[in-house]
Amino acid sequence: MKENQIKVTSPLLPNLDEFNGLLKEIWDSKWITNNGRFHQQLEQALCAYLKVPYISLFTNGTLPLLTALQALRITGEVITTPYSFVATTHSIWWNGCKPVFVDIEASTCGMDPDRIEAAITPHTTAIMPVHCYGKPCDMERIQAIADKYGLKVIYDAAHAFGVEVKGKSVLEQGDMATLSFHATKVYNTLEGGALVMHDAETKKRVDYLKNFGFAGETEVVAPGINSKMDEVRAAYGLLNLKQVDEAIEKRHQVAIKYREALRNVKGIRFFDDMPGVRHNYSYFPIFVNAEEYGMTRDELYFKMKDQGILGRRYFYPLISAFSSYCGLPSAAPENLPVATRVANEVICLPMHHELSDGDLSRILDLIVK
Ligand SMILES: *Cc1c(COP(=O)(O)O)cnc(C)c1O
């Protein structure tokens, strides 16, 4: 690893002495997993922080997606977005369902509600949208379509930790919403994730499903999986929760500086804040219009890389372009013109709580000509 590299992200780490103190408590108690004290505390603390009634912790952000589909007994076809991390579609595949891709809107990178209805067939049972980059989807219109056709909605909210619209969490929308606490996300528990639901009955069922389906000492009610979060990560998560607001504010300041510097650069598009939304600044994507900017996305991406500035092409290639899915009729690029174009334009610039003004100057000097 080179000394002068600027990475796309940097994990939020708790104070090591405080963490050691909690580790000592875990060692003393000898209770290291299976709904221990810190696990229970973190579920409570996250409910309060995220303003949601029920949450179930997981060992990563992919298994809550799998479990949400299983808990809601989703079968047949699931309408989803190709413009996401590959785990979104994998969760549909793991449940033996067929993913059906619909195009996105360039203005949010979320699923285009206008395209959903045309993709519904008699086999459709659910919609799985993504709050891409933490930008809220058009949840009202998605829910209206779901209600009209009797479909479930499961939001992959892996990017949307703490995101609120008019003071209400986006995690409350749909039938369930999932979170990822991976090291690269705004809030991490090393690896980890969660499922947010509306009622105690559903939480109980989800808690069974993440523990092999055990409903009691001798009773197994479903072919569940093992995706429980352990005590070490729950303790780490409790400490990180105390400093996540400060980290989000630092990201906010970075976003302000990026926007100021890029506002008048021809051929570079980026997102502004949406009115009434509490953003988490999890990513700072820019979209390069090669003709106007005078350089293609990849030319800029590799120029940055040569100088040790490691952006990421999230999300390129599209999920629909991977070999597991490209044979599906809905995966054809003609069906996904906006997503196809955006995937060829995007670079996520470095964005984290430790980015210095010096780092920012180095990045911006390269982009602003
Ligand atoms: C990170 C991510 C996931 C998967 O989360 P893991 O914790 O890495 O398993 C799922 N969906 C999206 C959109 C993500 O960005």
Report the amino acid identity of residue 34.
N
Which CATH number characterizes residue 295's domain? 3.90.1150.10
**What integer pLDDT is reported at residue 4 of this predicted model?**
87
Judgement on whether residues 48 and 166 belong to the same structural domain of the protein: yes
Distance 100 CA to ligand 1 centre (A): 19
**What integer pLDDT is reported at residue 3 of this predicted model?**
67
Give domain status of residue 250, yes or no: yes
**What integer pLDDT is reported at residue 337 of this predicted model?**
98
Distance 20 CA to ligand 1 centre (A): 28
- Phi and psi torsions of 39, nearest 5°: -60, -50
| Distance separating alpha carbons of residues 291 and 368, to the nearest angstrom | 16
**What integer pLDDT is reported at residue 180 of this predicted model?**
98
How distant, in Å, are the alpha carbons of 102, 160, 209, 233 from that of 157?
Answer: 18, 5, 20, 20
Which pTM does this prediction carry?
A: 0.97
Are the C-beta atoms of residues 222 and 239 closer than 8 Å to each other?
A: no
List ligand 1's pocket residues with C-beta within 6 A.
Answer: 60-62, 84-85, 87-88, 130, 156, 158-159, 180, 182, 193
Longest dimension (CA), the chain: 68
Q: Which of 241, 273, 307 is the last residue of a domain?
A: 241
Order the strands of the 54-58 sheet from edge to edge. 54-58, 193-197, 176-180, 152-156, 124-128, 77-80, 98-101
Give domain status of residue 120, yes or no: yes
Give domain status of residue 10, yes or no: no
How distant, in Å, are the alpha carbons of 258, 293, 317 from that of 268?
Answer: 11, 7, 20
The conformation of residue 82, written as its DSSP 8-state character, comes to S
| Distance separating alpha carbons of residues 232 and 228, to the nearest angstrom | 12
Judgement on whether residues 86 and 107 belong to the same structural domain of the protein: yes
Judgement on whether residues 204 and 257 belong to the same structural domain of the protein: no
Give domain status of residue 11, yes or no: no
| Distance separating alpha carbons of residues 166 and 350, to the nearest angstrom | 28
Give domain status of residue 122, yes or no: yes
- Out of 180, 187, 190, 319, mutate this one to test ligand 1's pocket (max ligand atoms within 8 Å of CB): namely 180
The conformation of residue 187, written as its DSSP 8-state character, comes to S
Judgement on whether residues 114 and 139 belong to the same structural domain of the protein: yes
Judgement on whether residues 268 and 228 belong to the same structural domain of the protein: no
Are the C-beta atoms of residues 56 and 43 closer than 8 Å to each other?
A: yes
| Distance separating alpha carbons of residues 83 and 163, to the nearest angstrom | 19
Q: What is the pLDDT along the chain (369 residues), one digit of tens a residue?
A: 556 899 999 999 999 999 999 999 999 999 999 999 999 999 999 999 999 999 999 999 999 999 999 999 999 999 999 999 999 999 999 999 999 999 999 999 999 999 999 999 999 999 999 999 999 999 999 999 999 999 999 999 999 999 999 999 999 999 999 999 999 999 999 999 999 999 999 999 999 999 999 999 999 999 999 999 999 999 999 999 999 999 999 999 999 999 999 999 999 999 999 999 999 999 999 999 999 999 999 999 999 999 999 999 999 999 999 999 999 999 999 999 999 999 999 999 999 999 999 999 999 999 997
Q: Which domain holds residue 358?
A: 244-367
Judgement on whether residues 41 and 112 belong to the same structural domain of the protein: yes
Judgement on whether residues 70 and 141 belong to the same structural domain of the protein: yes
Q: Which of 241, 270, 296 is the last residue of a domain?
A: 241
**What integer pLDDT is reported at residue 2 of this predicted model?**
59
Give domain status of residue 8, yes or no: no
Distance 309 CA to ligand 1 centre (A): 23
**What integer pLDDT is reported at residue 24 of this predicted model?**
98
Give domain status of residue 35, yes or no: yes
Helix (H) or strand (E) holding 235: helix 231-262
Judgement on whether residues 296 and 191 belong to the same structural domain of the protein: no
Q: Tell which atom from ligand 1 comes closest to the C-alpha of 159.
A: 15
Q: How many domains does the chain have?
A: 2
Q: Tell which atom from ligand 1 comes closest to the C-alpha of 184.
A: 1
Residue 18: strand, helix, or coil:
helix
Are the C-beta atoms of residues 339 and 318 closer than 8 Å to each other?
A: yes
